[in-house]
Structure 1
Amino acid sequence: MKVLMKGNEAFAEAAVRAGCRYFFGYPITPQSEVPHYLAQRLPEVGGVFLQAESEVAAINMVYGAAAAGARVMTSSSGPGISLMQEGISYLAGAELPAVIVNIMRGGPGLGNIAPTQADYFQAVKGGGHGDYRVIVLAPANVTEIFTLMEKAFDLADKYRMPVMVLGDGILGQVMEPVELPPLKEINPPPKPWAATGKIERDDKTRRIINSLYIVPEENEKHLEQQFAKYRQIEESEPLHENFLVEDAQIILVSFGTMARIAKSVVLKVRERGIKAGLIRPITLWPFPRKAFTAANIPVAKKILTVEMSGGQMVEDVRLAVNGRIDVEFFGRTGGMVPESKEVLEKVLALAREVE
C-alpha cells in the first residue's frame, strides 16, 4: 500500500513494524511528530508510550526497558540528544541495545529549528564520556527510513549496543509517497542476558546489568571485548551508495538530505561534459573507508564533501583517502541549506583545476 507520509511519521511507523513496543521521549522541534504519532500507534499494537519529564529521564527509561530485553527507542533533536549523552554512554557501557533517532536542527546551544547536519561529531565520535561507539545510520529519503530503521533494531540486538539514526529537519518534515512494507511477525533474537525477573532459568544465576567496573583491570578487559566487537562491525557493516564514480574525476561526498542535492549537481555537471560522481555514506559509523580506495575511484582527482555543517564529515573522508587525493569542503551552517547552484559553481571551479 502506497501512502503519503511525513519523514517523522515514517520513523515512528518503521519502528513499530521493526518490533519496537516501547518509546520514551520528550517533544522538541523538528521531531515532535515522532512521539505524537507513537502516542497513538503504540497502544494499538500493545505497546507502551510514555512522555518523560525530560530527555534525561527518557534515556534512563530506555536503559531500563533495554535491560529487560525489550525493543525500545527514543527520539529527539540536538539539545535533547545532548542531555541524553550520559545515558547513551551508560547504554554502551552496559552493552544494551536501543535505537535513538536524532532529527538534527541548527546549533550550537538552542540555535534554531532549521535543518542541519552539525551533530555528526556528536553521533560518530561519541558525544558522551569514555571509550565507546554507537552505530550511526543516515537515511536520505522516506522510503529508506523504513529499511534503515529495521536494520537499526537488528544491529542493536546483534551487537548489543545503541544505534543512532540521523535525520534532519528537512527529512523529518518532508512528505513523500512510500510503499508501506507488509506487516510481518518480528522475532527478535533470544536475550539470555536480560534482567527479566524470571526465576525458572536452568542456571539460576542472577542477571546483573551494569556499566560500573571499579577495578581498572576488569574495566580494561571489558573495554577490550568492546573494541573487538567494534573492529568486527567496521569490517562487516559499512554501507554506502556509489553514483557514477567509475569514471569520475570529481567525487562529491554527502549523506542524508544533502546527498540528494549533491546527486542533482552530479547530473547537471555531467550534462556539461564534466565527469563527476557521488559517494553517499549510509553508515556514518562505521565509516565506509573502502569506498575511497583507488580500486573504487580509479581516476578521481578531486573530492568535495558537501555538508550542512561547518565541515565535520570531511575529516573522516580525509582519513579514508589518506592523502592520495585532494579533499575539499563546501557547506553552509546554522540551519542554512547549500543550494544546488552554489555546489554547482564549486564543482565547476574544481573542474577547471583538474583540466
Structure 2
Amino acid sequence: MRSDSMKKIMMKGNEAIAESAIKAGCRLYFAYPITPQSEIAEYMARRLPEVGGVFLQTESEVATVNMVYGAACTGKRVMTSTSSPGFSLMQEGISYIAGAELPCVFVDVIRGGPGLGNIQPSQGDYFQAVKGGGHGDYRLIVLAPSTVQEAVDLTQLAFDLADEYRNPVLVLADGMIGQMMEPVVLPEMRDISTLPDHSSWALTGARNREPHRIAAFNIDPVGLEQMNIRYQEKYKRVEEKEQRWEEYRTDDAEYLLVGYGTVGRILKSVVDELREEKLPVGLFRPVTLWPFPKKRLGEIAEKVKCIFVVEMSSGQMVEDVRLSVNGKVPVHFYGRMGGVVPTPEEIRLAFKEVIR
C-alpha cells in the first residue's frame, strides 16, 4: 500500500530500495560495501537505528551471507545487498539458505565483469542469479526492476514472496537503476505485528515449546532426495503462480523486442521510434527472471515473425527466450558488454538490419 498522500519524492535507486525494505518491515541488514550499491549500506547504517533495527557491516560477503542465514532462522525480515563479485562469494551460503527453506531478500546491483570488472551497469549476472550460482537443485525467485519506482515496488513484493514460499528472493538490478534518481511514491510503513507468523518453525527460544530444528542437509541420500522433492514441488507452485511481465504495444505487433531491467526501458523508446517508421513492433519485458514468463512469451511467439533480444551481456537471458519460443520463430540477439549501455539508435539500426 502506498502513502495516502501519494507524494512523489526524488530518490536514488539504491536509497529507494533501502527505504522500501525498511517500510516492508526489514529490521536486520548485514552487508559489505561494494560499488555501485554501497549507498544501500550507507543508508541502512543511518536509517535502521531510527526504527529500532540492526545494521552490521561485515568483514566479507562470506560473513554477510552466513549472518543472513542465522538471522533468517528467527523468522524476522532480513536483507543484504551487494554487487556482482560479492554476490559470487555468497553463492554457497545462498544454497544453504534455500536448502533450509528460509525467507530472506538479496539485492544484486550488477556491474561489469567477469572478474573484478568495473562499476558500470551490466546484466552479466543473469546466469548466476537465475540458474543457481551455488550447488544443488535450488531456485531463487528473481525480480528485475526497470525503474526506481518499480525497484521500490518489487522490494516490497520480494519480502512477501520470501515469506509466502519460505525461499530467498533476489532483486536483480544494475548499476544504472541503482545510481539514477527518479521520482517515487514510497509505501506506508508496515506494522511489524501484522507480518506473517513464523512461530511454527522459527528459532525463537524453546522454553515454552518443543524445540525447532532448521537444517539445509540430510546425510541419508533417501532423506535428502525427499527434501529435494519437496523443494521441486514448491518451485512448481511458484512457476504456476508468480510469472510476471510487461507488454507494450504487442496487440498488433509483427516483431517483438525482448529485454529486462534497464534495457527494457530503453527498448520502450525503440518501439516508439520504429512505430513512427510504420514498423509493427512490440515489447515484452520479463519482470520475473525466475520464474521466467515463458507461457505468455510462447503465446506471443505464435503471432510474430521474429523476436529480437537485447541484453547488456554476451547473451544469457536469450537462452530462456529460445527455450520459451521452442523454435516457433527465429530469435535474434544484440548485446553490449563490459558496462556499455546500448543506445536506442544502435538498437534500432541493429534490428532493422536483422529484418532486411
Q: TM-score, with normalisation over the residues of structure 2?
A: 0.96
Establish whether residue 59 from structure 1 lines up as the match of residue 65 from structure 2.
yes
Residue type of the partner of 2:219?
A: I
| SS at 2:75 equivalent | coil
Residue type of the partner of 2:227?
A: H
Pairing partner for 2:280 from 275, 278, 283: 275
Pairing partner for 2:322 from 318, 325, 345: 318
Q: Pairwise mapping of residues 270-349 of structure 1 onto structure 2 (< 5 A)?
A: 270-294=275-299, 296-349=300-353
Segments of 5+ residues of structure 1 without an aligned counterpart are none
Residue type of the partner of 1:127?
A: G
Segments of 5+ residues of structure 2 without an aligned counterpart are 1-6
Residue type of the partner of 1:147?
A: D
- 1:108-134 Cα offsets, whole Å, 9 max, x none, are 000111110000000000000111000
CA distance in 1: counterparts of 2:106 and 2:167, whole angstroms: 11
- 2:124 equivalent in structure 1: 118
Q: Pairwise mapping of residues 122-137 of structure 1 onto structure 2 (< 5 A)?
A: 122-137=128-143
Contact conserved, 2:302 with 2:328, CA < 8 A, in 1? Answer: no
Establish whether residue 34 from structure 1 lines up as the match of residue 40 from structure 2.
yes
CA distance in 2: counterparts of 1:180 and 1:129, whole angstroms: 37
Q: Pairwise mapping of residues 232-251 of structure 1 onto structure 2 (< 5 A)?
A: 232-251=237-256
- 1:18-45 Cα offsets, whole Å, 9 max, x none, are 1100000000000000000000111111
| SS at 2:267 equivalent | helix
- 1:138-192 Cα offsets, whole Å, 9 max, x none, are 0111111121111100100111110010010100000011122233424221111
Tell me how large the CA RMSD over aligned residues is.
Answer: 1.0
Question: What is the CA distance between 1:298 and its match in structure 2?
Answer: 4.7
- 2:4 equivalent in structure 1: none
Residue type of the partner of 2:202?
A: A
Residue type of the partner of 2:44?
A: L
| SS at 1:96 equivalent | coil
Question: Identity, % of aligned pairs?
Answer: 57
- 2:235 equivalent in structure 1: 230
- 2:23 equivalent in structure 1: 17
Residue type of the partner of 1:140?
A: S
- 2:3 equivalent in structure 1: none
- 1:183-208 Cα offsets, whole Å, 9 max, x none, are 3424221111001113212xx2x211
Provide the aligned length of Structure 1 versus Structure 2: 348
CA distance in 1: counterparts of 2:197 and 2:190, whole angstroms: 18
- 1:188 equivalent in structure 2: 195
CA distance in 2: counterparts of 1:179 and 1:94, whole angstroms: 35
CA distance in 2: counterparts of 1:102 and 1:25, whole angstroms: 12
